[in-house]
Structure 1
């Protein structure tokens, strides 16, 4: 009997998918990343991708508190 210890990873989001999810332009996502103000990316070869949970956590952190 063999045991499968593989950890299932969540699907990664592309730059276009992140921009669409946030309803902003790709340039805005690039700018936020360049300024160090965005969720950490995963480098896959020469491309960047994001875990959906990291993007959702970043959005949650950006939520303003009502006065």
Structure 2
């Protein structure tokens, strides 16, 4: 899924690789952050898979901006 396609679908469920691309980190870093309880957007567990809603990822990114 490319960035334009994902952002046009706010309820899309994203894989770790998708949010890693949006956050500019590796997929392994997404899983490591999740296992260590480090900040990440809220995840949804579906069976044995973890997914993230695009709208949650967007909101989380917005909340991480520094005020100048």
Deviation at residue 36 of structure 1 after TM alignment: 4.3
Partner of 2:5 in structure 1? none
Larger Rg: 1
Matched, 1:33 2:6: no
Which runs of at least 4 in structure 1 moved beyond 3 Å after TM superposition? Answer: none
- 5+ long unaligned stretches in structure 2: 1-9
Partner of 1:19 in structure 2? 20
How many pairs are equivalent? Answer: 58
> Where is the helix percentage greater, Structure 1 or Structure 2?
2
The TM-score with structure 1 as length reference comes to 0.74
The TM-score with structure 2 as length reference comes to 0.73
1-structure distance, mates of 2:32, 2:26: 10
